[in-house]
């Protein structure tokens, strides 16, 4: 059974009643239960539900643009009135977009419940042009704040929550730690977030993890910016950036410089959500597996979470990073998908039971 960490008895009872999946035994797929194997195989094994998006480009204060992909769910039987249709903002991982299979599954789950979804694609990675020499990072929440304000202004009467995966979860936690209760979001769900970036990069630099994940992730980061080389060369030595062989080297030469940090350690400290967890002011459910090499079990801030009545951690012993595969042939629904569906439904349909806490 997962370990449920929540200091607030009311929040705990709420989850047990309306999100019972967090108390059920999670049985990982028997032939790929190990965390690294789950992480590697999930993108290839899981299906890719068909989703028709409506794209919207919004301008930012600094002259940039952000690509939003909307799933309006206009055929919703439960919420035919678009003005009050519950809305879920989805934040993909480090180089992820609205096309990731885990995002498509979240939208599929939301569709069956009648909800609307909007995917926040980080700058420059969803096919849109960079209008300024700036991309994104886990610590800077300005773009996310602009997106949340924009979505809320379009549908001010609609219940509104967010779900972030991996770096998307880190960004969402950092935003919530900064804003406290001063946010239009009712609640948030976080999946496979890296809680302490120092511990995450150290884990990813172990020889086998570097071979399986770090080098590939670094090349993905480089690929995501190479299309914008002409714009970025105004500020960066792109030849040096393209020589990076680890995420840490990439962040040292590119990310930390772009966002004005004196050192990479300053950036990693600011990007680590464990430092801001005490300030989260709305109900947040966080799912992690303790065998996740991107977010090692010993770095999950269990004691800090116990100090905030708004926070609940669900910790599984297996599942890897955005894995959580279950069943003999895990093509469709993962444990993570079930947690997402039940928690979102619990918040939108029974949330008044915890908002008074």
Dump pLDDT digits (tens) for 106-149. 999 999 999 999 999 999 999 999 999 999 999 999 999 999 99
What is d(CA 311, CA 189) in angstroms, rounded to the nearest whole number? 10
Flag the least confident range among 81-90, 194-203, 324-333.
Answer: 324-333
User: Is 292 a catalytic site residue?
Assistant: yes
Report how many helices (DSSP H) and strands (DSSP E) the chain contains, helices first.
15, 9
Residue 44 burial class via C-beta count within 10 angstroms: exposed 0-12, middle 13-18, buried 19 and up = exposed
* Catalytic option among 166, 192, 203, 272: 166
- The answer to whether 244 and 222 are in contact (CB under 8 A) is yes
* Catalytic option among 105, 155, 228, 321: 321
Torsion of CA 191, 197, 198, 200, to 10 degrees: 40
What is d(CA 212, CA 230) in angstroms, rounded to the nearest whole number? 31
Mean pLDDT along residues 307-314: 97
List of long-range contacts for 233-239, beta carbons under 8 Å, 24+ apart: 234/133, 235/133, 236/133
Domains of the chain: 3-196+272-351 (3.40.50.1820), 197-271 (no CATH)
**266, 288, 67, 301: which is closest to 177 by C-alpha?**
301
User: Is 150 a catalytic site residue?
Assistant: no
User: Is 98 a catalytic site residue?
Assistant: no
Report field, pTM of the whole predicted structure over 0.85: yes
Q: Up-side HSE of residue 82: CA atoms within 13 Å toward CB?
A: 9
What is d(CA 147, CA 142) in angstroms, rounded to the nearest whole number? 9
Q: What is the pLDDT of residue 353?
A: 84
**Residues contacting residue 17 through CB under 8 Å, at least 6 positions apart:** none
* Catalytic option among 69, 251, 291, 292: 292
pLDDT tens-place string over residues 2-20: 999 999 999 999 999 999 9
Neighbours of 29 (CB within 10 A): 21
pLDDT tens-place string over residues 311-340: 999 999 999 999 999 998 888 889 999 999
**Residues contacting residue 27 through CB under 8 Å, at least 6 positions apart:** 326
């Amino acid at each position: 059974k997962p370990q449920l960490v929540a200091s607030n008895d009311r929040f705990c009872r709420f989850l047990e009643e309306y999100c019972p999946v967090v108390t059920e035994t999670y049985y990982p797929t028997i032939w790929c239960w190990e965390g690294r194997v789950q992480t590697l195989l999930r993108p290839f094994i899981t299906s890719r539900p068909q989703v028709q998006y409506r794209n919207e480009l919004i301008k930012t204060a600094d002259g940039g643009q952000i690509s939003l992909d909307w799933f309006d769910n206009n055929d919703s039987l439960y919420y035919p009135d678009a003005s009050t249709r519950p809305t879920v903002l989805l934040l993909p991982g480090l180089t992820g977009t609205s096309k990731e299979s885990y995002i498509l599954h979240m939208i599929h789950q939301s569709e069956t419940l009648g909800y609307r979804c909007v995917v926040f694609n980080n700058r420059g990675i969803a096919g849109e042009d960079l209008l300024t020499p700036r991309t994104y990072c886990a610590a800077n929440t300005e773009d996310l704040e602009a997106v949340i304000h924009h979505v809320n202004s379009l549908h001010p009467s609609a219940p509104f929550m967010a779900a972030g995966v991996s770096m998307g979860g880190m960004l969402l936690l950092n935003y919530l730690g900064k804003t406290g209760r001063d946010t239009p979001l009712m609640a948030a769900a976080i999946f496979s977030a890296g809680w302490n970036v120092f511990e995450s990069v150290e884990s990813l630099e172990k020889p086998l993890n570097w071979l399986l994940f770090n080098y590939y992730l670094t090349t993905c980061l480089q690929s995501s910016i190479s299309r914008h080389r002409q714009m970025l060369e105004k500020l960066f030595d792109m030849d040096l950036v393209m020589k990076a062989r680890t995420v840490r080297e990439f962040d040292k030469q590119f990310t930390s410089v772009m966002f004005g940090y004196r050192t990479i350690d300053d950036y990693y400290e600011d990007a680590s959500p464990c430092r801001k967890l005490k300030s989260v002011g709305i109900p947040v459910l966080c799912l992690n597996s303790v065998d996740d090499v991107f977010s090692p079990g010993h770095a999950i801030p269990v004691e800090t979470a116990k100090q905030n009545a708004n926070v609940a951690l669900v910790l599984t012993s297996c599942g890897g990073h955005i894995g959580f595969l279950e069943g003999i042939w895990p093509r469709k629904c993962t444990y993570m998908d079930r947690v997402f569906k039940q928690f979102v439904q619990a918040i939108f349909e029974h949330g008044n039971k915890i908002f008074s806490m």
